[in-house]
């Protein structure tokens, strides 16, 4: 497990390293709020251990910025010196997932970190999307229908991923365009062309069509279409 530890007290960081590294943790250290924020944004960590009292930007502010400005979902365990209700409430409101009060037991910290990472992994969306007899594996962008591999263009994969994630709900044209091309979609016929190609690969060789068009509104998998 890769853990970022943001803590300015060198005795505590030394203890954390001495205890956690032999358990198989890979630790990255930051000694101020600003450094912690930068390192959290730059690296991919399984969890962040964040001290509340830090020089410069405090831990609460680091936590808030990671959540609200940078939209990072990495689990955060706060270290706090005071066991007051207000600290806990502020911590959780700022986006922390758990906390321990100093002085804390290393065994407890290890257990809480493992639980946090386990929960975060469980909360991740599945890598393989399924609808009816179609599958799309997001880890390798491979799609099948009735067990037969589908030959899709990169845009076809993206469209199918959005449609499968939302299925059987309708996906408005504008939402599809934004998901595939961002804020600068090509001309209005591009989506129709790509949907046509997707339909040829996904539906034509198979008995039952999955992709439905609601003219002028959007597209959906399943449903009744028009």
Binding site for Ca ion (CB under 5 A): 8, 51, 53
Helix, strand, coil percentages, rounded to 5, for the chain = 45, 20, 35
CB of 116 to Ca ion, least distance (A): 21
Instruction: Give residue number: closest CB to Ca ion.
Output: 53
CB of 120 to Ca ion, least distance (A): 25
Query: Which residue number, 51 or 166, has a Cβ lying nearer to Ca ion?
Result: 51
Query: Which residue number, 104 or 141, has a Cβ lying nearer to Ca ion?
Result: 104
CB of 79 to Ca ion, least distance (A): 8
Query: Which residue number, 31 or 178, has a Cβ lying nearer to Ca ion?
Result: 31
**Contact assessment for residue 26 and residue 52, using Cβ atoms and an 8 Å cutoff:** no
- Distance separating alpha carbons of residues 164 and 130, to the nearest angstrom: 7
Strands (E), 142-207: 142-145, 148-149, 171-172
- Distance separating alpha carbons of residues 85 and 164, to the nearest angstrom: 43
CB of 9 to Ca ion, least distance (A): 5
Query: Which residue number, 78 or 136, has a Cβ lying nearer to Ca ion?
Result: 78
């Amino acid at each position: 497990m890769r853990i970022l530890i943001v803590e300015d007290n060198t005795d505590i960081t030394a203890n954390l390293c001495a205890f956690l590294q032999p358990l198989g943790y890979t630790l990255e250290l930051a000694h101020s709020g600003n450094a912690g924020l930068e390192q959290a944004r730059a690296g991919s960590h399984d969890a962040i251990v964040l001290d509340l009292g830090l020089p410069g930007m405090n831990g609460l502010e680091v936590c808030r910025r990671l959540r609200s400005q940078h939209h990072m979902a990495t689990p955060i365990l706060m270290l706090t010196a005071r066991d007051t209700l207000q600290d806990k409430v502020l911590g959780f409101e700022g986006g922390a997932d758990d906390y321990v009060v100093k002085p804390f037991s290393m065994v407890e910290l290890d257990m809480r970190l493992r639980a946090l990472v386990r929960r975060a992994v469980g909360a991740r969306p599945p890598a393989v999307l399924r609808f009816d007899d179609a599958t799309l594996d997001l880890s390798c962008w491979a799609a099948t229908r009735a067990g037969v591999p589908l030959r899709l263009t990169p845009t076809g994969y993206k469209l199918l991923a959005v449609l499968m994630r939302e299925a059987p709900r309708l996906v408005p044209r504008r939402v599809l365009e934004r998901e595939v091309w961002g804020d600068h979609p090509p001309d209005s016929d591009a989506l129709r062309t790509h949907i046509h190609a997707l339909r040829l690969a996904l539906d034509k060789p198979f008995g039952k069509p999955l992709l439905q068009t609601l003219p002028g509104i959007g597209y959906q998998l399943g449903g009744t279409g028009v």
